[in-house]
Structure 1
Amino acid sequence: MPTASNAEPRRVTIEQGGPVLVEGPVELRLPDGSTVTSDRFVVAVCACRRSKRFPFCDTSHRKKVRG
């Protein structure tokens, strides 16, 4: 089992105007002290706080375009 000194680093990608993509699995600690986990391969973490599934992104940050 990897230790902190020899563990592979997690890749975190910050999307312009979008979510923060984190290689999973992840455990997120929220401001109220609670935690949520995801075992997905890549986790989209909401950066704008508009998600109905916060802290996970549901693309609510996208502007609606009507044709």
Structure 2
Amino acid sequence: MKNETMIEVFIPRSAANRDPNFFVAVNGVSYLLPRGKSSLVPAAVAAEIERARAAEDAMYEAREALKTPAE
């Protein structure tokens, strides 16, 4: 990942009982990013973080759809 474009990402804080760091790994390289702060990461890592956020959003939407009775 040498000479790769770096992108600033912000990992929001979470509940007090969760890990204060966010773990992400891409192609065997691990990153431990602090929650509540911005970090510079390679573009591939930023893309993986965005993919994970989208998957989490989809999971919450699906869960809410199951709670709501069909009309």
Shorter-normalised TM range = under 0.3
Higher-strand-fraction structure: 2
- Kindly name which structure, 1 or 2, has the bigger radius of gyration based on alpha carbons: 2
Q: Which has the higher contact order (CA 8 A, sep 6+)?
A: 2
Higher helix share: 2
